[in-house]
């Protein structure tokens, strides 16, 4: 009895036979591969578009500020404690310690003051820019990144130093072609030393002008050198910047600050006109909900396309296997076992799935990379493909193709060879 063929030879013959069969049915193989590749491309691009929209929104929101609520003083619209409605509310910096004490869920409660009627010039140029004063954490919660030098710190505040941190547009106007670090700018002829320049940033919203056009100085400096003019209070504030200790505490933090302000200024805590709150956290969450909905919609469209592609792949595979029933009969007649026949169809299908899936992933990721070289609108970060969506689409289409091939192949391999040889495609 001759020795059995070694496993390596059997595997080699199987692979050679598989490629010969695929080459002999080029059109059918190409249609199957196209269906799988198209399904992969569609789902990857749809999910990438949704991901780009979501991340673009998040980036724009982060450019304005990090989990910040801005509270503006207004006028009362409700009577409270015998006080009439329509009374003007004015915040003062002397209230900050009380607000901090009665708002334990807030991380920061910062005062902010702006001045726009200041004569500003340097040794090189003059400009009309906005002056903003607060405390060092302002840079972090308002996403003001340092491009050169540094932002003012607590030592600058404690020593009441006249230092300035300038926006990118201010640098262009006051120090064209110059290094501003260490130079002086003159605010109403008072010299301030430039200690830093902010990094350029995109900003889609603001309450008093874009940050690139501002000069930032410590809070004591702005009140000492540029006090409010009567009838405004000398320590009056334009607004309060509030951040919670965590996102889950943001509503509680906001309510605590409003309640403390209502107590200090004797207004109804439910009077939204007395203390106007611009809650960027609520806005970001609402926008995220909207973009998640759009992302889910795009994903659903992609999966619908994937399903239709799967039907096409299934039909092609079913027809292909049934047309090869006579071939299966010949193989069984010459001694092939059902197990060997099933293995051949399995290997054929897996080769088609892996090749077409890889081609689909390469095309979709390559297209996304090329598309992202184009300038993007503000709220769109580009096409951001994910490996999860690509592998999921390949897995789903591969499973459809495998089931569509193996079920009829198993049926054909289980019938009598004579019956298989008598089978006529389409009969």
- The proportion of the chain whose per-residue pLDDT surpasses 70, expressed as a percent, equals 76
More confident residue, 60 or 144: 144
Helix-strand-coil percent breakdown of the chain, rounded to 5? 55, 15, 30
Q: Given this model, what pLDDT does residue 177 score? A: 85
Residue 292 domain flag: yes
Residue 427 domain flag: no
Taking only the tens place, the pLDDT of each residue in 76-92 is 888 766 567 778 888 98
Angle (CA) 195-198-201 rounded to 5° is 175
- Kindly state whether residues 176 and 94 are assigned to the same domain: yes
More confident residue, 122 or 318: 122
pLDDT band at 1; cut points 50, 70, 90: very low
The domain of 148 spans 69-280
Residue-wise burial string across 131-164, b where 16 or more C-beta atoms lie within 10 A, e elsewhere: bbbbbbebbebbbbeeeebebbeeebbeeebbbb
- Flag whether the pTM goes above 0.75: no
Angle (CA) 2-6-342 rounded to 5° is 105
Most confident by average pLDDT, 58-72, 106-120, 336-350:
106-120
- Kindly state whether residues 82 and 226 are assigned to the same domain: yes
| Across 390-415, average pLDDT | 73
Q: Given this model, what pLDDT does residue 82 score? A: 59
Taking only the tens place, the pLDDT of each residue in 262-310 is 999 888 888 888 888 988 888 778 777 877 777 777 667 767 766 766 6
pLDDT band at 321; cut points 50, 70, 90: low
- The proportion of the chain whose per-residue pLDDT surpasses 90, expressed as a percent, equals 25
User: What is the rounded CA–CA span in Å between residue 277 and residue 293?
Assistant: 27
Taking only the tens place, the pLDDT of each residue in 135-170 is 999 999 998 999 999 999 999 999 999 999 999 999
pLDDT at residue 409 above 70?
Answer: no
Mean of all residue pLDDT scores within the chain? 80
Contact between 395 and 69 under an 8 Å Cβ cutoff? The reply is no
pLDDT band at 427; cut points 50, 70, 90: very low
pLDDT band at 205; cut points 50, 70, 90: low
Residue-wise burial string across 363-392, b where 16 or more C-beta atoms lie within 10 A, e elsewhere: bbbebbeeeeeeeeeebbbbbbbeeebbeb
- Kindly state whether residues 124 and 179 are assigned to the same domain: yes
- Kindly state whether residues 174 and 103 are assigned to the same domain: yes
- Kindly state whether residues 150 and 53 are assigned to the same domain: no
- How much is the CA Rg of the chain, to the nearest whole Å? 35
Taking only the tens place, the pLDDT of each residue in 26-53 is 777 777 778 778 878 888 888 888 888 7
Last residue of some domain: 280, 297, 318? 280
Tokens, residue 321? 């296997």
- Kindly state whether residues 309 and 373 are assigned to the same domain: yes
- Kindly state whether residues 347 and 271 are assigned to the same domain: no
- Kindly state whether residues 213 and 341 are assigned to the same domain: no
Last residue of some domain: 251, 280, 309? 280
| Across 353-376, average pLDDT | 87
Q: Given this model, what pLDDT does residue 114 score? A: 87
Number of domains observed in the structure of the chain: 2
- Kindly state whether residues 104 and 165 are assigned to the same domain: yes
Tokens, residue 59? 């980036």
- Kindly state whether residues 172 and 192 are assigned to the same domain: yes
Tokens, residue 89? 């509310």
Residue 100 domain flag: yes
- Kindly state whether residues 18 and 145 are assigned to the same domain: no
């Amino acid at each position: 009895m001759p020795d059995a063929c070694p496993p390596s030879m059997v595997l080699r013959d199987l692979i050679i036979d598989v490629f010969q069969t695929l080459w002999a049915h080029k059109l059918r193989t190409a249609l199957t591969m196209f269906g799988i590749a198209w399904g992969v491309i569609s789902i990857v691009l749809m999910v990438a578009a949704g991901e780009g929209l979501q991340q673009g929104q998040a980036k724009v929101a982060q450019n304005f500020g990090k989990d910040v609520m801005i509270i503006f003083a207004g006028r009362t619209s409700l009577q409270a404690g015998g006080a009439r409605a329509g009374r003007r509310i004015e915040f003062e910096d002397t209230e900050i310690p009380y607000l901090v004490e009665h708002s334990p869920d807030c991380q920061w409660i910062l005062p902010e003051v702006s001045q726009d009627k200041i004569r500003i010039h340097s040794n090189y140029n003059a400009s009309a820019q906005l002056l903003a004063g607060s405390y060092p954490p302002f840079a972090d919660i308002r996403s003001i990144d340092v491009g050169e030098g540094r932002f003012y710190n607590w030592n600058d505040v404690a020593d009441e130093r006249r230092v300035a941190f300038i926006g990118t547009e201010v640098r262009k106007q006051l120090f064209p072609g110059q290094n501003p670090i260490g130079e002086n700018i003159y605010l109403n002829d008072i010299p301030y030393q430039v200690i830093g320049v902010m990094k350029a940033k995109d900003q889609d919203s603001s309450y008093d002008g874009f940050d690139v056009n501002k000069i930032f100085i410590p809070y004591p400096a702005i009140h000492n050198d540029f006090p409010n003019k009567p009838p405004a209070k000398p320590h009056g504030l334009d607004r309060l910047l509030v951040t919670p200790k965590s996102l889950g505490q943001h509503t509680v933090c906001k309510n605590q600050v409003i309640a403390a302000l209502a107590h200090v200024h004797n207004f109804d805590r439910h009077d939204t006109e007395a203390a106007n709150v611009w809650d960027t956290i609520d806005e970001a969450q609402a926008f995220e909900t909207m973009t998640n909905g759009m992302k889910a919609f795009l994903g659903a469209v992609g999966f619908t396309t994937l399903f239709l592609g799967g039907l096409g792949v299934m039909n092609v595979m079913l027809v292909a296997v049934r047309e090869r029933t006579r071939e299966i009969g010949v193989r069984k007649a010459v001694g092939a076992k059902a197990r060997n026949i099933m293995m051949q169809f399995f290997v054929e299908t897996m080769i088609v799935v892996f090749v077409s899936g890889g081609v689909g992933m390469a095309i979709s990721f390559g297209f996304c990379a090329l598309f992202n070289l184009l300038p993007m609108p503000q709220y769109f970060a580009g096409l951001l493909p994910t490996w999860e969506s690509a592998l999921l689409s390949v897995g789903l289409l591969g499973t459809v193709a495998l089931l569509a091939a193996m079920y009829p192949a198993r049926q054909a391999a289980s019938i009598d060879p004579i019956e298989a040889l008598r089978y006529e495609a389409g009969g």
